[in-house]
Structures are given as structure tokens and as C-alpha cells.
Homo-oligomer: A and B are copies of this chain.
Amino acid sequence: MSLDTAALVTKLTEILGPSGIIAETAAMGAYLNEPRKRFHVPALAVVLPKSVAEVQALARFAFENGTPLIPQGGNTGLVGAQVPLKGNEVIVSLARLNGLREINADAGHMTVEAGMILEEAHKIAEAEGAMFPLWIASQGSARIGGVLSSNAGGVNVLAYGNARELCLGVEAVLADGRLYNGLNALKKDNTGYDLKDLLIGAEGTLGIITAATLKLFPLPAGYETAIVNLSSPEKALELFYAMRERAGTRLNAFELVPWIGLDIQTRHGMLDKDPTAGPSPWYALVEVSQPKGAEGGLLQAGLEAAFEANLIDNAVVAESLADRTRMWAFREQMSECQSREGASIKHDVSVPIAAIPRLIAEGSAAAQALVAGIRPVPFGHMGDGNIHFNFSPPVGADDKAFMAGAEPMHDAVYEVVLKLGGSVSAEHGIGQLKTELLKRVKDPVALEMMRAIKQALDPKDILNPGKMLS
């Protein structure tokens, strides 16, 4: 059976109360308008449960009625997983289910509800003297449920891992309203299949995450941060290996930025002061953390050794918090600065780290073969093998004409990525943007296994239908 929209709204209002539903499309803006403005399908309704029991009641109703549900966190995803595809969906915003259930900073864990904003989780941990080390650009609005459902990464994956590795257990409502209680604060638990990691990164297609137990770490005493001048990605790779050997897991960021990044930011007045030691083909932002008991100077010593070994041309080590902030701003403004230069064709890709120089060389060459004068802007999490391989148009080119060539550009870049054993979506996921691409490039047996699991856990295709697996 399927209800008409009015009856559906009535029923949802019964379940969630009048304050728990938005039925007017005009009022849904915040839940529909996603960051890249690519997807424009309205929802039948937006609902805002404020308890796990309400999420369960909602799922039970949806299961009986065949109503597709889209779980949504902060609506910051970049691939459309969290917004409608067909228009017959109900968006389930977890924004009001946002409490802290428990924290034990010494023991290294806290349990929070899915709607908690990531930055709020940071603050709660810090107030207790601990750290939840997952930092992404959207942390001021991204919510924990979405962070987990998309297995978010960010700038400290190198030392602490992706969202998956930072989560000890989850609680989730299944498609028929059953509650999976996988919350725990255990580092070791070999009692069955790894359902936690299956739900994390599933983009809301297997369950609605309602709460999670997150790992906390001791707050470091400080950081040592530098921007290093490098002649090539090959030298950057050698520096990474050398720093990793020297600093071990204290190496918590190794980010690559090409010269054009500094050039664009300078021309558009985005930097109050050049954070680098001067012009250079490539830059690396390198950071080591300093636990309470550690001596300082690890980064400085490593860079001196690298200079003597002819790996690096120059470097600036931050001497103040202001220096560090300026260095990170330079890195973090990389996405934004490109929009000042017109349109941008983007690829969120990863390769085995040793293949990064080839990825950059061959990907740039492939793009230039398609569009003469195209400006490659490859930057990002080099230490994780994850490059945001973006392209700005040739100087003076027309944005629209440039973007019309996006598809062949994607094909050319992904061809290089796949040849190198890489991934066509390192951080941002599949959502609705990349389902066709996934069908083309993913191991076919993996796709069959995914479909079998989806069918087993959500036989009526209630949860985020058409996302990830089309």
C-alpha cells in the first residue's frame, strides 16, 4: 500500500508531532540545498525525530507503507547521498537527536547521538582534556551520523585513521524499525561479523545510525608545523618516507599544495602574509604532534636532515600559533580559491602512495591533451595517497564551455587512477553522483556482494534507495 502525500503527512505528523515535520517544499531549503548545488529534487517531507524511539516508529511506518527514507546529517555531503533522487523520499534529519550520552576522556571514548555537530564533539572532548581527531572543512555543520555514514577522512587520517577507525561502536535503526545495538567501548571484541564497519560508510543505505561511541585521544602538548619548498612530487614522496620513519605515528599531517595554489590565493588577496619560504613548484605542509612527555624539535631536525639529503629546497617552521593558523589556512583555502578562478573540474581520488608522482604527471598530461592550457591543481592528503585532483580552466576560458568537457576529463583522470590501482572516490563517497561510475569500475563480484547485503538487510529498499547502488 502507498499513501497519497496528504495522508502521508498526516501519518508522519502523528508519529513525530507537528514540530517534527516540514511538509512545505519552500521551507525545506536547508535540507535540500547541498554544497555543490548539483541536485535539485524536492522531498515529500522532511522529518526531525528527537528520539531513537521516534526513528524506530518512523522506520516501522515506512517499511509498512513502502516510503523511501533518506537519512541526513548536516547536509554537507558532496555526492548527493543525503538529498532526494526521485522526489518520493522523506528526508530524515537527525539534527534534533544530538545529545551526549557518555564521556570518559581518560579511558578514551565518548558516546554521542547522530545529530551532534562534529565541532560540538570536538569541543566536548576538549573540555574534558581529550581530542576527537577528525577534522574536515565542513566540521561546523557536519553531524556525526553523516560523518560516519560517509566514512569521512580529513587532514589527520595519517595519524588517526578515517571515521571508521575512530569509531568503536554504533547504534542504528534498520529498515523495518529494529534497533541494532552495537554501542560499546571495546577495543577488542571478536563476537561476530563486523557490523559496525558495514554500517559506517554505507551512506544510510543499510541502517540509520542514531548514536556512536567514538575514540578519544590525549590532547597533545603542542604541534610542530612547517611549509616545505619542494621541486617535485617525487621529492615530496621521499620527504614523506623520511619523516614517517623519523616521526612514526607522531606525523599527523602531510599535505601537498602546488605553486598555483599560492599564486591564486595571492592574486585574490586571500593571504594576509605569504606563509611559505618563497616561490616553489610544490609545497608540503608537514605537521608532527607533540605528546606531553616528548622533546620538541623533531620536525626541525627532520627538515634539516632532509635539506642535507637534498630532498627539500627550503622550509618555514611555524614559530607561533598565528604562523600555524596561517599555514593551515593556506592549505584549507585550496578548494575555495579555485572558485575565484572560474569553474573547476574535480576528482577526489586515491592511489597507493608510491604512485602519487605518476598520478600527478600522467593525470595532468591526460587533461592537457584534452584541453590545451588547462591548469591542474592537484592538492591534498599526500600522506594518505589521496589527492583532490582538480583542474581550473585555461586563463580566459569560458566556464560553461570548460565544464561541457567535464565528462571526458573525468574519464581520462579515472583511467590513470584505475591503472595505478587507485580509487575513484577516496573520501566523498558514491551517493547519487557516482553510481554509474561505480558500476563501471568496481570489481563486479564486490558489487554483487553489496547488492546481496543490501537485499538481505533492506529487502524493500526503504533506506536511501538508488544511492550507492543504483
Binding site for B on A (CB under 8 A): 104, 106-109, 150-151, 153, 157, 159, 161-162, 164-165, 174, 178-182, 184-195, 197-198, 200-202, 206, 217-218, 220, 241, 244-250, 289, 291-295, 298, 301-302, 350-354, 381, 384-386, 421-430, 434, 438, 441-443, 445-450, 452-453, 455-457, 468
Contact = CB atoms under 8 A, between A and B. Distances in A.
Contacts of A104: 352, 354
Residue of A181, A186, A448 ringed by the most chain B CB atoms within 10 A: A186
A434 B189 CA distance: 13
Contact of A186 (B195, B244, B422): B422
B352 A250 contact: no
A198 B188 contact: no
A294 B289 contact: no
Copies assembled: 2
B181 A445 contact: yes
Given A291-B246, A455-B456, A194 B200 contact: yes
A469 B24 CA distance: 48
Nearest to A189: B423
Contacts of A423: 184, 186, 188-191
Contact of A193 (B178, B202, B295): B202
A449 B171 CA distance: 13
Contacts of A249: 159, 248-250
A164 B197 CA distance: 11
Given A250-B291, A353-B108, A446 B188 contact: no
A438 B192 contact: yes
B381 A192 contact: no
